[in-house]
Structure 1
Amino acid sequence: MTESNGSAAPERNEDMPDWEKRFRAPRVSLPDWAEDAPDRSLFVSNATGTYELYAWDRATGGQRQVTDRPNGTTDGVLTPDGAWIWWFDDKDGDEFGVWRRQPFDGGEDELAAPGLEASYPAGLALARDGRTAIVGRSTDEDGTTIHLARTGEAPVEVYRHRESAGVGDLSHDGALIAIEHTEHGDAMHSALRVLRPDGTAVAELDDTKGGTDELGLEVLGFAPVDGDTRLLIGHQRRGRWEPLVWDVTTGEETDLALELPGDVSAEWYPDGTGLLIVHSFEARSELFRYDLASRALTEVPTPPGTVSGATARPDGSVEYLWSSAAVPSAVRSTTGAVVLDPPGLKSPGSVPVEDVWVDGPGGRIHALVQKPQGVPGPLPTVFDIHGGPTWHDSDAFAAGPAAWVDHGYAVIRVNYRGSTGYGRAWTDALKHRVGLIELEDIEAVRAWAVDSGLADPDRLVLTGGSWGGYLTLLGLGVQPDAWTLGIAAVPVADYVTAYHDEMEALKAMDRTLLGGTPEEVPERFEASSPLTYVDQVSSPVYISAGVNDPRCPIRQIENYVRRLEARGATHEVYRYDAGHGSLVVDERIKQVRLELEFAERYLA
């Protein structure tokens, strides 16, 4: 058993392995820019060894570090006038805290919304007047509340409900507030409501009405023009995510009807005449400009791979964060320039990803394969399972899988039922038989990997973080003969205890996935809980957990570990002082090193 109250930086020298360089190399997020001061930007970087917020004045080229906390900071927003930076202040990664703000040019932090107690964040929208904010909060006691906060005035509550909800956007003139809510009780599919600042309703759009075949909606943003009441939203009416323009005053809906397979999202160009379209299909993405007047769709050229974020600038250029499995991420521009190139160590690349399609019990399963070049199989193989569950693996650069490949493993990532990007039916398929559905798809890909000669059946590692960690522990118990060992990071281990201890928004999600609470549907929670099958686990198990994690809390992990200990089962546990993962580079490297060493011990 290993404990950590911090991590010591390993000796740095020219012999540092490539896998470690990938974690240490400075990287940056896509810069956010102030609507009325576009030369002022905010981004996240790990340049100091911890992910923190940075201010960037494009006019002067000056950059400065905004936050400096032991466990890092990633949640920050610029006010539209570029005068202030809001950032979320929690304690050691527990996600429970308050918003603070700091002048863009530097200075002391102050409470951004005095009078609002600490909570889990539920969205934030900042007005162009520089003194008004719409602040979403979530607590176990109150559910979700949304407040109008003005400098020098007491916050005013404009929305409250027990079910999960969140701030979507604030109109350009500050007259309208869009929120996403799940008052109907389905946390996977939101409805939309538009309010005035006094809390009175202006419009409602709810695609969940009229039956059990719920359809979700999401807020993508108000038009960036004063007095314009058009709201860009995402919908699922044709079985996938697509954008449409909804005039919240007249009720008129303009369906773009884009002939693109897969999921489509969008944001406004700054002048409101067009939309920047982000199209995701089969683990890759591409960009387009959609002209609202002519309805013409024009491709915005990007290399093959994954666009993790994109934004249109006032001059019409587009900046985007791009990578592929083989090429590290970079913030690029359609002007041809690299927008941000952090100094210092450069990340080594990795091997490209290969696409595999496997017939499964619920349809064709898409898996992504990376393997050492020029090494014949069968190979020791890592099944690296993504979290979410409503997420997906893509052809994007990832230091974790690359580290396994460097050490001679093949890596397979499975976009199981529940993953996004393959249609609404695929995402929604895991309800009620939670975990078991995903494992059926993972098993189908495992069987293909062994039968094809790629994977050595005696050296199979099941691993993942968050939901992937949950599926790892569940898989070791439900499929004990399929896996040689398991490595679970920040997992759900005891579903009932996890439900009672987790943050309120995740309780709502679990009620949706399983059809009720542990008291209402105990048989479903039992069938989906790794703790139910812990006595069938025969492979060595490694578990890492953040002691402040509000998503996969530590108590339910300790319950599982005690059951392993009582059986004398082979296991190791690593606890560290953070929340749902770590933003400290040294700590992350330490975790990967421990995982690699664990696998080496038990596969040798």
Structure 2
Amino acid sequence: MTESNGSASPERREDMPDWEKRFRAPRVSLPDWAEDAPDRSLFVSNATGTYELYAWDRATGEQRQATNRPNGTTDGVLSPDGEWIWWFDDKDGDEFGVWRRQAFAGGEDELAVPGLDPSYPAGLALGRDGRTAVVGRSTDEDGTTIHLARVGEAPVEIYRHRESAGVGDLSHDGSLIAVEHTEHGDAMHSALRVLRPDGTPVAELDDTKGGTVELGLEVLGFAPVERDTRLLIGHQRRGRWEPLVWDVATGEESDLALDLPGDVSAEWYPDGSGLLIGHSHEARGELFRYDLRTRELVKVPTPTGTVSGATARPDGTVEYLWSSAAEPSSVRSTAGGVVLDPPGMKSPGSVPVEDVWVEGPGGRIHALVQKPVGASGPLPTVFDIHGGPTWHDSDSFAAGPAAWVDHGYAVVRVNYRGSTGYGRAWTDALKHRVGLIELEDIAAVREWAVGSGLADPERLILTGGSWGGYLTLLGLGTQPDAWTLGIAAVPVADYVTAYHDEMEALKAMDRTLLGGTPEEVPERFAASSPLTYVDRVKAPVYISAGVNDPRCPIRQIENYVGRLEERGAVHEVYRYDAGHGSLVVDERIKQVRLELDFAARHLKGGSQS
């Protein structure tokens, strides 16, 4: 059993392995920029060894670290006038806290909205007048509340409901507020409401009403034009995410009907004349420009891989964050070159992914495979399962899988049912048999990996973080003969206790997935809980957990570990002082090193490193 209260400074050596360099190499997020001061930007970087917010004045080139906390900071927003950086201040990663703000040029932080108690964040929108904010809050006691806050005035509550909701956007002139809500009780499919600043409803759009198919909506943003009442939204009416323009004043809906497979998102060009389209299909992404007047769709050139984010600048150029499994991420521009290149160590590349399609019980399953250069099977193989579950693995750079490849393992990542990017039916397939459905797909890909000669059936590791950690523990218990060992990071281990201890928004999601509370549908919670099957686990188990985690709380993990201890099962536990993962590079490297060491000690024959 290992505990951590922090990490020592790294030992800088010329022979630092590539896997460690990938974690240590400075990286940056896609810079956000101020709508009315586009030379002022905000980005996240790990340049100091901890992920923090940085202010960037493009006119002077000056970059300044804006936040500095032991466990890091990534949740920040730049005000439209470029004068203020808002950042969320929680305690050691527990996600429960308050918004603070700091002048763009620097100075002391101040409480951004005096009068609001700490909470979980539920969205934030800042007004162009420099004094207005719409703040979403979530607590176990109140559910979701939304407040209108103006400098020098007490915040005013304009929305409240027990079910989960969130701030979508504030219109250009501050007269309209878009809210995503799940008052109907389905946390996976939001409806939209537009309010006046006094809380008076203006318009409602709810695709969940009537019919047997559940459809969701999402806010993508108000038009960035004065007195423009158009709201860009995402919908699922044709079985996938697509954008449309909804004029909330007239009720008119302009359906773009783009002929693109897979999921489609969008954001406005700064003059409101067109949309920057983000297209995700089969684990890769690309960009287009859509002209709202001519309805012409023109591709924005980007390399093959994954575009993790993009934004259109006032001059019409597009900046985007791009990577592939083989090439590290970079912020690029259609004007040419890299926009933001952090100094210091450069990250080594890795090997490209291979696409595999496997027939499964619910349809064709897409998996991504990496293996050491020149290696031939059967190889020790890591099934690295993504979290979410509403997420998907993509052809993007990831230091974790690359570390396993460096040590001689093949890595298989499965976009199981529940993953995004393959249509609404695939994402929504999890209802009621939660966890078990995903594991059916993982088992089908496992059978392919062994049958194809890629994977050695005696050296198979099941691993993942968050929902992937949950599936790891559930898989070790429900498929005990399929896996040689398991490595679970910040997992759900005891579903009932996790439900009672987790943040309110996740309780709503669990009620949607399982059809009720543990008291209402105890059989479903039991069937989907790793604790139910813990006595069947045969493989050695490694678990890491953040002691302040509000998503996969520590008590339910301790319950699972206690059962392993009672049985005398081979297991190791690592607890660290953070929340749902760590933003400290040294800590993350320590965790990967512990995982690699656990595998080397317990995997028959070791790896071919």
The TM-score normalised by the length of structure 2 is 0.99
Match of 1:373 in 2: 373
Q: Secondary structure at the match of 2:557?
A: helix
Cα offset, 1:213, TM superposition: 1.4
Q: Secondary structure at the match of 1:339?
A: strand
1:7 aligns with 2:7: yes
Tell me the alpha carbon deviations over residues 519-558 of structure 1, each in whole angstroms, 9 at most, x when there is no partner.
0000000000000000000000000000000000000000
Tell me the alpha carbon deviations over residues 134-174 of structure 1, each in whole angstroms, 9 at most, x when there is no partner.
00000000000000000000000000000000000000000
Tell me the alpha carbon deviations over residues 379-420 of structure 1, each in whole angstroms, 9 at most, x when there is no partner.
000000000000000000000000000000000000000000
Gap runs ≥5 in structure 1: none
Q: Distance in 2 between matches of 1:81 and 1:415?
A: 41
Equivalent positions of 1:446-525 (< 5 A) are 446-525=446-525
Q: Distance in 1 between matches of 2:546 and 2:233?
A: 36
Equivalent positions of 1:177-576 (< 5 A) are 177-576=177-576
Q: Distance in 2 between matches of 1:123 and 1:105?
A: 25
Equivalent positions of 1:15-54 (< 5 A) are 15-54=15-54
Match of 2:101 in 1: 101
Q: Secondary structure at the match of 1:586?
A: helix
Q: Which amino acid aligns with 1:449?
A: A
Q: Distance in 1 between matches of 2:160 and 2:376?
A: 59
Q: Distance in 2 between matches of 1:139 and 1:152?
A: 25
Q: Which amino acid aligns with 2:299?
A: E
Q: Secondary structure at the match of 1:87?
A: strand
Q: Distance in 2 between matches of 1:426 and 1:99?
A: 36
Q: Distance in 2 between matches of 1:211 and 1:118?
A: 39
Cα offset, 1:10, TM superposition: 2.8
Q: Which amino acid aligns with 1:521?
A: V
Cα offset, 1:211, TM superposition: 3.0
Q: Which amino acid aligns with 2:482?
A: A
Q: Secondary structure at the match of 2:525?
A: helix
Tell me the alpha carbon deviations over residues 549-569 of structure 1, each in whole angstroms, 9 at most, x when there is no partner.
000000000000000000000
Match of 1:152 in 2: 152
Cα offset, 1:375, TM superposition: 1.1
Q: Distance in 2 between matches of 1:431 and 1:237?
A: 19
User: Aligned-residue CA RMSD in angstroms?
Assistant: 0.4
Match of 1:594 in 2: 594
Q: Distance in 2 between matches of 1:211 and 1:268?
A: 32
Q: Distance in 1 between matches of 2:496 and 2:415?
A: 26
Q: Distance in 1 between matches of 2:9 and 2:298?
A: 48
Cα offset, 1:337, TM superposition: 2.0
Q: Which amino acid aligns with 2:583?
A: L
Q: Secondary structure at the match of 2:430?
A: coil
Q: Distance in 2 between matches of 1:110 and 1:290?
A: 41
Q: Distance in 2 between matches of 1:201 and 1:62?
A: 44
Q: Distance in 1 between matches of 2:593 and 2:10?
A: 11
Q: Secondary structure at the match of 2:87?
A: strand
Q: Which amino acid aligns with 1:287?
A: L
Q: Which amino acid aligns with 2:46?
A: N
Q: Distance in 2 between matches of 1:200 and 1:194?
A: 9
Q: Distance in 1 between matches of 2:324 and 2:9?
A: 29
Q: Secondary structure at the match of 1:429?
A: helix
Q: Which amino acid aligns with 1:364?
A: R
Match of 1:57 in 2: 57
Gap runs ≥5 in structure 2: none
Cα offset, 1:328, TM superposition: 0.1
Q: Distance in 2 between matches of 1:320 and 1:456?
A: 39
Cα offset, 1:7, TM superposition: 1.0
Match of 2:580 in 1: 580
Q: Distance in 2 between matches of 1:69 and 1:129?
A: 30
Q: Distance in 2 between matches of 1:7 and 1:212?
A: 52
Tell me the alpha carbon deviations over residues 179-223 of structure 1, each in whole angstroms, 9 at most, x when there is no partner.
000000000000000000000000000000003311000000000
Tell me the alpha carbon deviations over residues 296-338 of structure 1, each in whole angstroms, 9 at most, x when there is no partner.
0000000000000000000000000000000000000000120
Q: Distance in 2 between matches of 1:142 and 1:534?
A: 35
Q: Distance in 2 between matches of 1:161 and 1:212?
A: 25
Q: Secondary structure at the match of 2:20?
A: helix
Q: Which amino acid aligns with 2:77?
A: V
Cα offset, 1:8, TM superposition: 1.2
Tell me the alpha carbon deviations over residues 327-361 of structure 1, each in whole angstroms, 9 at most, x when there is no partner.
00000000012000000000000000000000000
Match of 1:143 in 2: 143
The TM-score normalised by the length of structure 1 is 1.00
